[in-house]
Amino acid sequence: MTTTSDRFLVQPGKKLRLADVDPRGTPGFDGDKDAGKARTAELNARFEELQETLYASGTNRLLVVLQAMDAGGKDGTIRSVFEGVNPQGVRVACFKQPTATELAHDFLWRVHPHTPAAGEIAIWNRSHYEDVLIARVHDLCNETCWRARYEHIAAFEKMLAGEGTTIRKFFLHIGKDEQKQRLQERIDDPKKRWKWSSRDLDERARWDDYQRAYEDALAATSTAWAPWYVIPADRNWFRDLAVSEILVETLEAMRLRLPLGDPGVSGLKVT
């Protein structure tokens, strides 16, 4: 049976064409928006249960990486998919333009402190992949440099996996027309204007360059230990549904168990 994870998986070593993925598609789901939201609510309840067990057991670790074009829905995914989780066991890291201190170190230096500890879920809003995307599109380093980083990233992620971290990486795939609409909303809606940056238009002008950069990076770094999933993300409700299903599948596969607790507590009465 084909699982949601199988459906959106970037096959390791296989060339990827984002143009073949319909950003408005809802593959594997025949229901409408209301049915999708209802299903996501069910998954959220199950996810909360699993995350609480993960936190209580204090053994497994989960790293969730979110990448997208500007206005791709990373913040919305975090709000919707992780709604109701125990905040003690979840950390969110957002990687913006590197600081001078970060630039003085190797490109993986700034992300490593944000990897999850035992019992935690770490969510990365952007990530170490910016250093093979932006660096390539803006010619911040030559091709030899950014291609070598694919190997460094794969080795870094393999080390994390070998130390007990489960890694799930999501590319939220929106279409160019959808991005245009979302960026315009940031200009027109005063409540969204804080998200607007004039750099958004400069980056949008490089749309094709970013698409090619993502295609190469995802294909080169989707591995058995750190797979990439391309999620159609024009429809927010389906994006949330697909990511939720994959994360629930991931946590269920861990076969998590609550700690047994103090054996002497059975039958104890509090006075």
In DSSP notation, 124-170 reads EES-TTHHHHHHHHTTSS-HHHHHHHHHHHHHHHHHHHHTTEEEEEE
Per-residue pLDDT averaged across 195-215, rounded? Answer: 95
CA distances (Å), origin 226, targets 155, 198, 219, 250: 10, 34, 12, 12
pLDDT tens per residue across span 227-269: 999 999 999 999 999 999 999 999 999 999 998 877 777 778 8
**pLDDT score of 133:** 97
- Give the integer Cα–Cα distance in Å for 98 and 90: 23
d(CA 116, CA 81): 18
Q: Which among 235, 234, 223 has a CA at the least distance from the CA of 65?
A: 223
Angle between helix axes 143-162 and 207-221 (nearest 10 degrees) is: 40
Residue 271: pLDDT band by 50, 70, 90 thresholds? confident
pLDDT tens figures, 114-154: 999 999 999 999 999 999 999 999 999 999 999 999 999 99
Distance, in Å, from the CA atom of 252 to the CA atom of 48, rounded to the nearest integer, reads 12
Domains of the chain (ranges, CATH numbers): 4-256 (3.40.50.300)
Q: Which of 6, 136, 12, 123 is nearest to 67 (CA)?
A: 123
Q: What is the pLDDT of residue 265?
A: 76
Segment 16-53, tens digit of pLDDT: 999 999 999 999 999 999 999 999 999 999 999 999 99
**pLDDT value for 190:** 93
Q: Is 64 a residue whose pLDDT tops 80? A: yes
- Helices 143-162 and 130-137: crossing angle in degrees, nearest 10, is 170
Q: What is the pLDDT of residue 95?
A: 95
- Mean pLDDT, to the nearest integer, of 108-113? 97
* 123: β partners: 64, 92
**What confidence score (pLDDT) does residue 264 get?**
72
pLDDT digits (tens, 9 = 90+) for 151-195: 999 999 999 999 999 999 999 999 999 999 999 999 999 999 999
The model's pTM is 0.95
Provide CB contacts within 8 A for 189, sequence distance 6+: none
According to DSSP, the residues that pair with 230 across neighbouring strands are: 171
Q: Quote the pLDDT of residue 92.
A: 97
pLDDT of residue 3: 87
Please tell me the distance from the alpha carbon of residue 85 to that of residue 62, in angstroms, as a whole number: 14
Question: What is the per-residue pLDDT for 13?
Answer: 85
Distance CA 171, CA 235 (A): 14
Cα-based distances in Å from 223 to 12, 27, 65, 123? 5, 23, 14, 19
